[in-house]
């Protein structure tokens, strides 16, 4: 049986390091950083660790309805989502993930664009 990306890279501890680094980058970004001004960071990092884990085939999952509900009050546009994809790609690459694995994870993220971007 083939390992998931979650298993291949070491599980929650590895994903947690990725997410912490990603949020450092997000908070420094002028376009997407303001979305996190009034957010309890420990809570969002926990949610995002579970979400990225699920993108990697890990045990934590969110339904489409949950994802949409979490983002419905935010005014997230396509440009914001695109910037998040850029930062996610850079972070995954910097943490040593193989290019094809980065593409798989970012592709799974892209599939959820319509749930996050304000229509």
The domain of 94 spans: 7-116
Higher-pLDDT residue of 79, 72 = 79
Instruction: Please check whether residue 69 lies inside any domain of the structure.
Output: yes
pTM of the prediction?
0.91
Instruction: Please check whether residue 2 lies inside any domain of the structure.
Output: no
What is the reported pLDDT for 73? Answer: 83
Our count of domains for the chain comes to 1
Q: What is the tens place of the pLDDT at every residue in 89-109?
A: 999 999 999 999 999 999 999
The sign one gets for the Cα dihedral 104, 32, 71, 61 is positive
Instruction: Please check whether residue 48 lies inside any domain of the structure.
Output: yes
- The CATH number covering residue 94 comes to 1.10.490.10
């Amino acid at each position: 049986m083939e390992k998931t990306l979650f298993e291949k890279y070491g599980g929650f501890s590895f994903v947690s390091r990725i997410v912490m680094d990603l949020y450092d980058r997000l908070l420094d970004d002028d376009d997407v950083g303001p979305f996190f001004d009034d957010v309890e960071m420990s809570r969002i990092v926990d949610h995002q660790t579970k979400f990225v884990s699920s993108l990697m085939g890990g045990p934590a999952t969110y339904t489409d309805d949950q994802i949409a509900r979490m983002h419905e009050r935010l005014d997230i546009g396509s440009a914001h989502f695109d910037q998040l994809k850029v930062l996610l790609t850079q972070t995954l690459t910097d943490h040593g993930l193989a290019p094809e694995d980065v593409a798989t994870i970012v592709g799974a993220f892209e599939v959820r664009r319509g749930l996050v971007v304000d229509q």
